[in-house]
Structure 1
């Protein structure tokens, strides 16, 4: 985990208690557990006063919605937390965006390793600092990295329309979400 302040946690009650008008439960810090099985065992142990408790995840923090619902936590959640815990915050944010809005993991059926590899191939970086237009910033970087204007006389280079070029790049081939740029393939 990156730090305890951003650590994933879930408030776990039961449907039985909820149906009886009680929100009794406990916050469980997921960073204390190795895997889903260990976490669920602790939840059932906490609610041992009920016969066959049906767990209800009433609230959660720092867990992407694609990994959790009111009644389940995805089996790959702990592997996801481990992978993002090794990333800096900017990259972890980009990976969450990629999983949620671009490549729809885990519903796409990919293994986490395949999803990470696909993300690394697609992610171009963060270009949204200081309130700048991320698409325009990326267009400048793209032109520089590819040498698109190398060999063009500097008197002509200043007439290149970066805004139009950025628009074209992001119409077909690239996407931008919250300053993060991804190649669309």
Structure 2
């Protein structure tokens, strides 16, 4: 089984006729919504309910299951655009994106969340590790001063000032 986000799209005509007919669709960082729609259309085209003449046509579907969405709920009739964008971002950025979206956003559009994530994500590390990197790259301290510098307190100051935050091992700028 893949670790990619995936959905199970099921034919409603088949479901109403007592058949379990659907398709699992993996969504990676390159998947677009048209690819998902094509897979759903192909699944509907192979409808058992239509083959057995229990239904004239199978044209409606619902998302009956999902995996690997890092805590996000995918609802039965969720917009495919939103589902694919969310899955693509989780496939590309993993748990870091899910942690960001869950903790540092509040109902924004998925495109706005993606933009904010890109701007604010620093990396998978502790805030203290970030403090070490910051001092090393940005401050021109002599070697003797570095040995006395309190990185733990500096990391705490970054968090208390509201400039940075660490959540579940991921560091973000607070903007």
Give the TM-score, by structure 2 length: 0.66
State whether structure 2 residue 61 is matched by structure 1 residue 55.
Answer: yes
How many pairs were matched up? 164
Match of 2:2, SS state, is helix
Gaps of 5+ in 2: 50-54
Q: Which stretches of structure 1, 4 residues or more, deviate above 6 A after TM superposition?
A: 15-20
Give the TM-score, by structure 1 length: 0.63
C-alpha deviations, 1:89-134, integer Å up to 9, x for none? xx44323333333235xx41253xx54443232111111xxxxxx1
State whether structure 2 residue 148 is matched by structure 1 residue 140.
Answer: no
CA deviation after TM superposition for structure 1 residue 163, in Å:
1.9
Relative distance call for 1:109 and 1:38 in structure 2 (3 A) is: same
Q: What's the Cα RMSD here?
A: 3.7
Gaps of 5+ in 1: 128-133
Counterparts of 1:60 and 1:167, CA distance in 2: 39
Match of 1:68, SS state, is coil
| 2:149 corresponds to | 160
Q: 1:102 aligns with which of 104, 111, 126?
A: 104
C-alpha deviations, 1:41-75, integer Å up to 9, x for none? 23433446246675342321233554721332441
Counterparts of 1:16 and 1:56, CA distance in 2: 10
Asked if the contact 1:126–1:180 (Cα under 8 Å) also holds between the matched residues in 2, the reply is yes
How does 1:41-52 map onto structure 2 within 5 Å?
A: 41-47=41-47, 49=49, 50=55
